[in-house]
């Protein structure tokens, strides 16, 4: 297998201050390298954020023994009427994942105010301080993809729920890896793509909870936050899993249903300052 990584920017490389356009990766068998490279190239040249003028693509062989196989997180969809209700839902999801109301609100505020970054913020849920070694870049989860043999089943599964698009396929692979990282209790994300307004909260206990509206249309700044509980694991172990461990998803988790937000949390007691 080969790990292919792409990052692209406009106005020069990231290192020279260029604006990040897109980043993506694939893990594919040797015979699929050409196709994977050309689709990553096409993405950086035709992205809705603009056309990249710096593109970096790297290829690395992976040994079978380096791979850990995972199942994807179960998916739940919560329907909301606008992004404000979506953000209320995201706070409720973070609380359901174990954060207090104060912690959940602080995490969401950090995401709203986040600068444009290539990676995610890694936030200590107790101190609410950021822990990334490089605050400008953030932490990038890398080394994950779907097993090629599971693609037909994955497409059919997502198609059946109206979710078969690149955003969901890539985000679900990323979230399924991140939720298994030592010390990670939750993740929240919305996209940089100005046309893509959905987002999600994921956690080891909740699975992948998709909110159909989490940012206003037309906004080209998204963001991601990984919530870390230092009482559960060591930071270096967590970073190693995110950045070094190769994970491939070879089993698809169940679809848990689509619910209006108010029905999903209606009976549960969230919203108190625990």
Q: Choose, by CB under 6 A, the member of 108, 173, 223, 252 that binds ligand AMP.
A: 223
Cβ nearer to ligand AMP, comparing 120 with 158: 120
Q: Dihedral sign for Cα 62, 182, 103, 128, please.
A: negative
Q: Stretches 30-38, 95-103, 186-194, 259-267: which one binds ligand AMP (CB under 6 A)?
A: 186-194
189 is a site residue for ligand AMP (CB under 6 A): yes
The edge-to-edge listing of strands for the beta sheet with 54-61 is 19-28, 2-10, 54-61
- Check binding of 145 to ligand AMP (CB under 6 A): no
| Per CB under 6 A, 98 contacts ligand AMP | no
CB 271 → ligand AMP: shortest distance, Å? 27
In whole angstroms, give the CA distance from residue 81 to residue 86: 8
Q: What would the DSSP string read from start to end of 146-181?
A: E-GGGHHHHHHHHHHTT--SHHHHHHHHHHHHHTTS
| Shortest reach from residue 174's CB to ligand AMP, in Å | 6
Q: Which residues are paired to 4 by β-bridges?
A: 26, 59
88 vs 221, beta carbon nearer ligand AMP: 221
Among 193, 209, 228, 248, binds ligand AMP (CB under 6 A): 193
Q: Is 127 exposed, middle or buried (0-12, 13-18, 19+ CB in 10 A)?
A: exposed
Examine residue 117 and tell whether it contacts ligand AMP (CB under 6 A). yes
Give the SS3 label for residue 65: helix
Give the residue with the Cβ less far from ligand AMP, 54 or 265. 54
Q: Which of 8, 77, 92, 191 binds ligand AMP (CB under 6 A)?
A: 191
Using CB under 6 A as the binding rule, whether residue 249 contacts ligand AMP is answered as: no
Query: H helices of the chain, where?
Result: 33-45, 83-96, 101-113, 151-160, 166-178, 235-243, 261-265
| CB crowding 132-143: b at 16 or more within 10 Å, else e | beeeeebbbbbb
List the interface residues with ligand AMP, window 4-33 (CB under 6 A). 23
* Of 188 and 265, CB closest to ligand AMP: 188
Q: State yes or no: residue 43 binds ligand AMP (CB under 6 A).
A: no
| Residue 120 vs 252, nearer CB to ligand AMP | 120
The residue from 192, 198, 228, 239 that contacts ligand AMP (CB under 6 A) is 192
**224 lies in the binding site for ligand AMP (CB under 6 A):** yes
The count of other CB atoms within 10 Å of the CB of residue 4 is 20
DSSP 220: -
* 179 binds ligand AMP, rule: CB under 6 A: no
Q: Give, as ranges, the residues between 146 and 175 that touch ligand AMP (CB under 6 A).
A: 174
**What's the closest the beta carbon of residue 25 comes to ligand AMP, in angstroms?**
7
Q: Which residues contact 92 (CB under 8 A, 6 or more apart)?
A: 104, 261, 265, 270, 271
Q: Residues in the site for ligand AMP, rule: CB under 6 A?
A: 23, 117-120, 138, 140-141, 174, 189, 191-193, 222-224
């Amino acid at each position: 297998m080969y790990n292919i990584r792409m990052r692209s920017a406009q106005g020069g490389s990231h290192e020279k201050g260029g604006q990040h356009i897109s980043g993506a990766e694939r893990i594919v068998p040797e015979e699929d390298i050409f196709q994977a490279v050309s689709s990553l190239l096409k993405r950086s040249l035709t992205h809705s954020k603009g056309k990249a003028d710096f593109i970096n693509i790297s290829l690395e062989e992976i040994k079978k023994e380096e791979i850990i196989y995972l199942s994807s997180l179960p998916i739940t969809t919560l329907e909301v009427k606008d992004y404000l209700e979506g953000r209320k839902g995201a706070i409720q999801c973070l609380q359901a994942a174990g954060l207090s109301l104060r912690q959940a609100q602080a995490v969401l505020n950090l995401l709203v105010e986040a600068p444009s970054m290539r990676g995610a913020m890694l936030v200590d849920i107790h101190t609410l301080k950021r822990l990334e070694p490089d605050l400008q870049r953030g932490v990038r989860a890398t080394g994950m993809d779907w097993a090629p043999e599971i693609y037909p089943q994955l497409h059919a599964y997502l198609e059946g729920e109206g979710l078969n698009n690149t955003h969901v396929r890539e985000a679900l692979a990323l979230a399924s890896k991140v939720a298994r990282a030592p010390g990670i209790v939750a993740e929240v994300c919305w996209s940089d793509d100005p046309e893509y307004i959905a987002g999600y909260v994921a956690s080891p206990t909740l699975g992948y909870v998709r909110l159909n509206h989490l940012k206003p249309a037309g906004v080209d700044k998204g963001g991601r936050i990984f919530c870390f509980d230092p009482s559960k694991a060591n930071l270096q172990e967590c970073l190693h899993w995110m950045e070094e461990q190769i994970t491939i998803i070879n089993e698809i988790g169940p679809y848990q249903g689509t619910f209006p937000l108010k029905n999903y949390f209606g009976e549960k007691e969230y919203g108190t300052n625990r």
